[in-house]
């Protein structure tokens, strides 16, 4: 039994008409329990495709994905999605809803329609409130998310992913477009989840300095291939622009 929580074996996502190459080209990597991995690469390198494939959102042409030792199939996908939380590029919050209601949306896949028909159970609300408080958003719980700052919105998205208690958190460009202070708050939040709760983190970033500050390991994609997989030190010397 390996200690890897994410295993990708020879992943391939095929050509499209507009792109004269594979989107993912023989991608193999193994990520251990409790690692903090930064995914880097130019626009179009395949970072989002790789991350989305880990929650079964990308039909692959070849290859195998295992999460916590379980091979991804249509049958195992619901179980896998309980273990893996995902922060989508841009957050994907419902702007008209309050912060707490957005967090509760994270429970929709867990509760049945009957269980939420008359509102979420009280213990879900308490848990959502608890998560928002942990992320420094207690005061903002009942504000519409459209009124929150970019950094606060990203933390609401993190709380929404966390309400399922995932052991693995995938984040696609969680700090893109945020100001310096908000970037730091979001990265500190991810870092705390990693160090205090042992959550395995895989995050797409663009800033090599931030990658080196928070990440333990970097995986660099170029045109659908992994061109570097190793420590985050000296990334700037190796890759001028990612
Ligand atoms: N569903 C899709 N259909 C066609 N092309 C796609 C699809 N998804 C991604 N691509 C293409 O695959 C490449 C990799 O995309 P993506 O994973 O979003 O890159 P990154 O996140 O590294 O910027 C891009 O060139 C993109 O245009
Ligand atoms: Mg992307």
Q: What is the pLDDT along the chain (242 residues), one digit of tens a residue?
A: 568 999 999 999 987 767 678 999 999 999 999 999 999 999 999 999 999 999 999 999 999 999 999 999 999 999 999 899 999 888 889 999 999 999 998 887 655 555 555 566 788 899 999 999 989 999 999 999 999 999 999 999 999 999 988 999 999 999 998 889 889 999 999 999 999 999 999 999 999 999 999 999 999 999 999 999 999 887 877 776 55
In a domain, 132, yes or no: no
User: Residue 15 has what pLDDT?
Assistant: 74
Task: List the residue whose alpha carbon is closest to atom 16 of ligand 1.
Answer: 46
Find the domain containing 224 and state its range: 4-94+162-238
In a domain, 52, yes or no: yes
Task: List the residue whose alpha carbon is closest to atom 18 of ligand 1.
Answer: 48
Helix 180-197 × helix 150-162 angle, to 10°: 20
| Spacing, Cα 176 to ligand 1 middle (Å) | 18
Helix (H) or strand (E) holding 118: none
DSSP string, 21-58: S-SEEEEEEEEETT-EEEEE--TTSSHHHHHHHTTT-S
**Ligand 1 atom, smallest distance to 42 CA:** 22
User: Residue 20 has what pLDDT?
Assistant: 75
User: Residue 146 has what pLDDT?
Assistant: 94
| Spacing, Cα 225 to ligand 1 middle (Å) | 13
User: Residue 115 has what pLDDT?
Assistant: 57
Task: List the residue whose alpha carbon is closest to atom 25 of ligand 1.
Answer: 44
Q: Where do runs of H (alpha helix) occur along 84-238?
A: 99-105, 113-116, 122-134, 150-162, 180-197, 208-214, 235-238
| Spacing, Cα 90 to ligand 1 middle (Å) | 16
**Ligand 1 atom, smallest distance to 204 CA:** 21
Beta bridge partners of 72: none
User: Residue 214 has what pLDDT?
Assistant: 95
DSSP string, 182-200: HHHHHHHHHHHHHHHH--E
pTM: 0.90
Ligand nearest to the CA of 25: 1
**Ligand 1 atom, smallest distance to 221 CA:** 22
Task: Supply the CATH number for residue 11's domain.
Answer: 3.40.50.300
Asked whether the beta carbons of 139 and 55 are under 8 A apart, the reply is no
In a domain, 191, yes or no: yes
Q: How far is CA 190 from CA 58, 96, 159, 170, 183, in A?
A: 25, 26, 11, 10, 11
In a domain, 14, yes or no: yes
- Cβ–ligand 1 contact at 47 (below 6 Å): yes
CA contacts within 13 A on the Cβ side of 175:
22
CA contacts within 13 A on the Cβ side of 211:
28
In a domain, 26, yes or no: yes
> Which tokens is 189 given?
């939040």
In a domain, 150, yes or no: no
Taking the C-alpha atoms of residue 87 and residue 64, their distance in angstroms, rounded to an integer, is 23
- Cβ–ligand 1 contact at 46 (below 6 Å): yes
Least Cα distance to 201 among 185, 183, 189 occurs for 189
| Spacing, Cα 140 to ligand 1 middle (Å) | 35
| Spacing, Cα 54 to ligand 1 middle (Å) | 15
> Which tokens is 232 given?
């985050």
User: Residue 193 has what pLDDT?
Assistant: 93
| Spacing, Cα 175 to ligand 2 middle (Å) | 12
- Cβ–ligand 1 contact at 19 (below 6 Å): yes
195-224 per-position pLDDT tens digit: 999 999 999 999 999 999 999 999 999 999
In a domain, 28, yes or no: yes
User: Residue 17 has what pLDDT?
Assistant: 66
Number of folded domains that form the chain: 1
In a domain, 157, yes or no: no
Taking the C-alpha atoms of residue 105 and residue 190, their distance in angstroms, rounded to an integer, is 20
Taking the C-alpha atoms of residue 107 and residue 81, their distance in angstroms, rounded to an integer, is 12
């Amino acid at each position: 039994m390996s200690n890897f929580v994410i295993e990708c074996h020879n992943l391939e996502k095929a050509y499209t008409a507009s792109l004269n190459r594979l989107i993912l080209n023989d991608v193999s990597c193994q990520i251990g329990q409790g690692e903090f991995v930064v995914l880097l690469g130019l626009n179009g390198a395949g970072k989002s495709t790789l991350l989305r494939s880990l929650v079964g959102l990308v039909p692959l042409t070849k290859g195998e994905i295992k999460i916590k030792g379980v091979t991804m199939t249509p049958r195992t996908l619901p179980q896998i999605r309980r273990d893996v939380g995902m922060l989508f590029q841009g957050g994907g919050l419902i702007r008209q809803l309050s912060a707490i209601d957005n967090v509760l949306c994270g429970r929709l896949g867990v509760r049945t329609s009957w269980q939420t028909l008359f509102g979420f159970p009280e213990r879900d609300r308490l848990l959502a409130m608890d998560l928002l408080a942990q992320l420094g958003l207690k005061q903002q719980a009942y504000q519409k998310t459209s009124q929150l700052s970019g950094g606060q919105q990203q933390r609401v998205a993190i709380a929404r992913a966390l309400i399922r208690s995932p052991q693995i958190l995938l984040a696609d460009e969680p700090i893109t477009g945020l100001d310096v202070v908000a970037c730091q708050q979001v990265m500190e939040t991810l870092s705390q989840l990693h160090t205090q709760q042992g959550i395995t983190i895989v995050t797409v970033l663009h800033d090599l300095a931030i990658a080196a500050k928070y990440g333990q390991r970097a995986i660099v994609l170029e045109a659908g291939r992994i061109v570097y997989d190793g420590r985050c030190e000296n990334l700037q010397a190796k890759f001028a622009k990612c």
